[in-house]
Amino acid sequence: MSETRLHLVAHVAGRGVLFDATQVDSVVDLPEIVPTPGAPATIRGLAALRSRVATVIETRRVLGLADDREAGRRGVVTMVDGHLYAVAVDTLEDVSTLAIAPTPAGMALDGGWSAVRGIADGDGETLMVLDLKRLIELAGEQTAEPAR
């Protein structure tokens, strides 16, 4: 059984992803990001957004994909537990009403992919619905890199 909802369509490392529009505050071009010493690799750093400090999530790392910090220059902004976050994505496509189907039984969703909450048929590709709150929780669960 599928459900139709409004979603933001984006891409991360060539993979189509969706974010429930009710979880999205805004979308931005990411400004200069200040690294945060001692933070896990899943946290790119801090950035000033709308006169507030936002934690920038390195989505490729959370999902276990090839890391390319030159990609991921756009951000999906959300508020979780009173904190502002920007989830880095490569491209932002559009907002669309799509029929969301449950994740197929037996589909391996390890690591960051455990944030997947369903799938949809996009323009010639399968899109994975990512729960922003869960993605941010997973980013925070990573182990910090040792100081160099």
58-81 confidence digits (pLDDT tens): 999 998 887 666 678 999 999 999
Phi first, then psi, for residue 32 (nearest 5°) are -60, 135
- pLDDT score at 146: 45
Residue of 3, 2, 26 whose CA lies nearest to 95: 26
Q: Can you tell me the distance from the alpha carbon of 1 to that of 121, in angstroms, rounded to the nearest whole number?
A: 14
> What pLDDT is recorded for position 58?
94
Sketch the domain layout of the chain as residue ranges.
Answer: 3-141
CATH homologous superfamily for 3-141? Answer: CheA-289, Domain 4 (2.40.50.180)
Structure tokens at 100: 């969301």
